[in-house]
Structure 1
């Protein structure tokens, strides 16, 4: 157990460090071993295909440079191509305006689609779909910001309009994912970090895909408000746990969400009750330790469902019973150095320091919490 005084000191340090940086849309010039010294983000011209674009040179590794384009896309330039495909420029980096991005999206998707502008989004959707999708994405983002802010998480205003693309059916969505070279299967929607877009489809009942859309919209909001960083190694139990938390519709309803039972991810809870005995924390403790230490279970098709469910349980418990720990783990991981591999031993050390206890004690508390849920 860590003394309360030490934990409060650590929390204060996290808040202080978080206040010094802007994430998701800006850059933290802190570099790990293997990264070349760098003076901070610099405006550059860089080559994408046969076209030159203006961007922000974020960082160099031994193999590539990372550049953010004016529309928020992340591009890489191979180290052996830096001299020919990336040039410094005196031109100041200015993110694309909402109007510029709207025109760009109209040209990209053509006359069969509308591009609807809202306060925070540009929503690409088949013509004639009205306000249903734009309102849904706005509600998701507003609820996310409100939820995080109330719990002390550092939330920042992004510099780019968020883009959500709604395709007419699943086939069209997979064709779009193929065009962007995103290899996924059997999904109703996805948040793609590289292009900073949520993509889903309108080919079925909204209720059947709404939970997935809320999950992916939470990812997009997290990566665009600095709750997660788009360029560092954040543990999957944190990113996917947050996504799972926002699947229930009650999260988007201030009235209904006052009751904890309606905030529960019913699918994750049912899976946990089916696959392990929650009256004993033995099984749960093993899973907590595995997810804290590494992300392998999220890549295993046999174990992935349990990994998502335990990740939800961990983040949901923190958000409901330990707001300080919830905020501290998110604020800390968001400010980790870019491109640095988050090694197993360090992940465990950081978790236990931030939580103020070891993983076994945390799992015991988590099991009691889950047993008390309706």
Structure 2
């Protein structure tokens, strides 16, 4: 149990959480995970009191729903599915459509990894999605968490709060890929495939989300696309190949800087999808071993660029240069 001043709200207000301490810094600051799954980074000067006791069990859907309704502005309602809790602003039909997609993904995600003989955990915490009424409401809410980026996206998964946030759009079919993409992030971080606040290479996180996102509009429900060729990202990758430098794989694997620049982000996303697709098709055993090694990373740990490359090469059993030759040759044949 830890009581601290919450700088995101009133700096003088105190908050008490039932939490598990994941990391404790030398100066007394902590990274704590509360019973709702939220991660709190608490500086030593914020801590009012701390009582050492075993952390309680995660809260259930009923308790999560009650807390969310207390936290959010008035007007929100709850829509439940078997595995998800959706908070919406009166747009229940749209929340229901999102819930159908989430449940399809949940089944497909666990089925896919089960078929690869990967043991995943059922999520410890209720899976929460906030569905705002429109773009203005979304920007108002999301700008508090992701700043100006809120103006240019239609949804995101928030690592700290462990929630998905999106809004009602006129045609859900146009946005299925984004909804599934963000829901994949949430599942990956809640089933043990990835660890929040650990050193997760962005090409892995984004590559996995894109691998699961491909919409299939021949399906009446709009999506069943795990592992299908992602036409958008295949196009991105093909446009990149003619100017692709020889160290492209090294820069993708060693750090995340290409994702953070407008000039290089599109190429980084396209190459991440292509690399993930290639590895799951041709180096599945090695890639899964690599994912499992990454999943054991500790929160707030950080690897150097050289360490990232060495870990990847060791898991694949070959140098980046050899893998790159196989990668490009394979992707030239993909249609």
Q: Same fold (TM over 0.5)?
A: yes
Report what 2:66 is aligned to: 103
* CA 251–50 in structure 1, closer or farther in 2 if over 3 Å, else same: farther
**Cα contact 2:23–2:31 (8 A) shared by 1:** yes
Q: Could you give the per-residue CA deviations for residues 259-318 of structure 1, whole angstroms, max 9, x where no partner exists?
A: 97xx111111111212223xxxx9365211111111110111100000011111111111
Q: Does 1:53 align with 2:17?
A: yes
Change (3 A) 1:157 1:344: same
The counterpart of 1:80, out of the listed 45, 55, 66, is: 45
Report the Cα offset of residue 149 of structure 1.
Answer: 2.5
1:22 corresponds in structure 2 to none
d(CA) in 2 for partners of 1:94, 1:251: 41
Per the alignment, residue 152 of structure 1 pairs with 117
Q: CA deviation at 1:62?
A: 3.8
Is the 2:4–2:46 contact (alpha carbons within 8 Å) kept by the matching residues of 1?
no
Partner of 2:239: 274
Counterpart CA distance in 2 for 1:258 and 1:197 is 23
1:26 corresponds in structure 2 to: none
**What is the aligned partner in structure 2 of residue 93 from structure 1?**
56
Distance change >3 Å, CA 259–CA 81, structure 1 → 2: closer
Q: Is the 8 A contact 1:45 1:89 kept in 2?
A: no
Shift of residue 113, structure 1, vs aligned partner: 2.9
1:370 to 327, 331, 334: 331
- The CA distance in 1 between the partners of 2:327 and 2:54, in whole Å, is 52
Residue ranges of structure 1 left out of the alignment (5+ in a row): 1-42
Please say which of residues 217-226 and 207-216 is displaced more in the overlay.
207-216
2:161 corresponds to which of 189, 192, 195: 195
- Secondary structure at the aligned position of 1:57 is classed as strand
- Is it true that 1:292 corresponds to 2:253 in the alignment? yes
* More off after superposition, 151-160 vs 328-337: 151-160
**When the two structures are aligned, how many residues end up with a matched partner?**
324
Q: Structure 1 residues 258, 98: CA separation in 2 closer, same or farther (over 3 Å shift)?
A: closer
Q: Note if 1:307 corresponds to 2:271.
A: no
Cα distance between partner residues in 1 of 2:137 and 2:46:
34
Describe the superposition over 1:222-262 as per-residue Cα deviations: whole angstroms up to 9, x where unpaired: 001111100211111101111111220249979x96997xx
Give 1:81 shift: 3.6
Is the Cα contact below 8 Å between 2:283 and 2:316 reproduced in 1? Answer: no
Q: Identify if the C-alpha distance between structure 1 residues 269 and 310 changes in structure 2 by more than 3 Å, giving closer, same or farther.
A: same
Match runs of 1:207-286 below 5 Å: 207-250=173-216, 263-277=228-242, 283=244, 285-286=246-247
Aligned partners of 2:213, 2:26: CA distance in 1, in Å? 39
CA contact (8 A) 1:153 1:328 kept: no
| Residue of structure 2 in register with 1:360 after alignment | 321
Contact 1:235–1:295 (CA under 8 A) maintained in structure 2:
yes
Structure 2, gaps ≥5 residues long = 7-12
**In the alignment, structure 1 residue 350 sits paired with structure 2 residue 315:** no
CA contact (8 A) 1:46 1:54 kept: no
The yes-or-no answer on 1:114 pairing with 2:80 is no
RMSD: 2.6
Equivalent-residue separation in structure 2 for 1:227 and 1:288 (angstroms): 23
CA gap of 1:107–1:303, structure 2 versus 1, over 3 A, is: same
- In the alignment, the residues of structure 2 paired with residue 252 and residue 106 of structure 1 have an alpha-carbon distance, to the nearest angstrom, of 38
